[in-house]
Amino acid sequence: MNALLFPKRLLLALSIVLATGVLPRAQATDTYKPQVGQPGKDVVWVPSPQALVDTMLDMAKVTPQDLVMDLGSGDGRTVITAAKRGVRAVGVEYNPDLVQLSRNAAAAEGVSDRATFVQADLFKTDLSQASVITMFLLPSINLQLRPTLLTLKPGTRVVSNTFHMEEWEPDETKTLGPVGCSNWCTAMLWIVPAKAQGTWRTPQGNLTITQSFQMISGTLGSTRITGKVTGDQISFTAAGSQYTGRVIGDSIQGSNWTASRIN
């Protein structure tokens, strides 16, 4: 079939199927109703409150240029909410009945052109095309995913309902009040940082960076530095002077300074 005539969302679904080796279930009963707390492959199913879903997408600043991937998409509410905002979104869910339930719900909401659901193992799914990852998993699952998340393109936003990623501290945390959200009401946002660790040559002397997730320390010449990497943006202070720039592979481009990686 001519790829130009193939719907983009189906091409995306097909690419995920090829990457995971899992085919979507053809049918599910219309009477299937999931039960809160029912067991799943990695976690029990508990839906995120709608108010928190909205908050998570707000924190990620999703736009129609994004691709949202929801890991463990359950009844599809996060994917459908993103699709209602004009955003392409993919739900990855292991339970085939929940996948079909989500597809039916997306069709009923009129967003099937932007909301795609695949039956797949989230640990075997290619996440590299996503610009936003959403999830409501356990800390142990988050930690298993953490190495993969850190390899995603710098600037990719990761938003979790309630559960942390240990030493990788969130860049932003927001907890909703009791009105509109009584349980599972904390959203945490991480922005995947560029890899800045190493030694760089600059006009001001060698810049040596030690990086722990998004936080950096080290020296510029003989002066100590502290700072942060947010996506591909780096900022640090040395001897009272502020340095900002963009990490582009083996170079850093600042407004009035540059650096090239030595090692």
Please check the confidence at residue 17 and state whether its pLDDT lies above 80. Answer: no
Please check the confidence at residue 88 and state whether its pLDDT lies above 80. Answer: yes
The mean pLDDT value for 251-263 works out to 95
Please check the confidence at residue 22 and state whether its pLDDT lies above 70. Answer: no
The mean pLDDT value for 159-185 works out to 94
The mean pLDDT value for 127-140 works out to 97
- pLDDT-derived band at 89, boundaries 50, 70, 90: very high
Give the global pTM. 0.86
pLDDT digits (tens, 9 = 90+) for 91-101: 999 999 999 99
Task: Please report the pLDDT score of residue 30 as a whole number.
Answer: 61
- Sketch the domain layout of the chain as residue ranges: 3-191, 198-261
Task: Please report the pLDDT score of residue 34 as a whole number.
Answer: 87
Give me the percent of the chain exceeding a pLDDT of 90.
79
Task: Please report the pLDDT score of residue 178 as a whole number.
Answer: 83
pLDDT digits (tens, 9 = 90+) for 173-189: 999 988 878 899 999 99
Give me the percent of the chain exceeding a pLDDT of 70.
89
* Mean predicted lDDT score pLDDT of the chain: 89
pLDDT digits (tens, 9 = 90+) for 207-247: 999 999 999 999 999 999 999 999 999 999 999 999 999 99
Quickly count: other Cβ atoms within 10 Å of residue 246's Cβ: 15
Identify the residue with better confidence: 2 or 149. 149
Cα→Cα distances 92→15, 22, 99, 122, Å: 13, 11, 8, 6
Q: How far apart (Å, rounded) are the C-alpha atoms in residues 240 and 144?
A: 39
| Helix-helix angle 50-59:77-84, to 10 degrees | 60
Tell me which H or E stretch contains 252.
strand 251-254
| Contact yes or no for 129/67 (Cβ under 8 A) | yes
| Contact yes or no for 80/109 (Cβ under 8 A) | yes
Query: Amino acid identity of 229?
Result: V
Fold of 3-191: Rossmann fold (3.40.50)
- pLDDT-derived band at 31, boundaries 50, 70, 90: confident
Identify the residue with better confidence: 42 or 184. 184
CA torsion angle for 132, 154, 227, 170 (degrees, to 10)? 20
Query: Amino acid identity of 58?
Result: D
Please check the confidence at residue 40 and state whether its pLDDT lies above 90. Answer: no
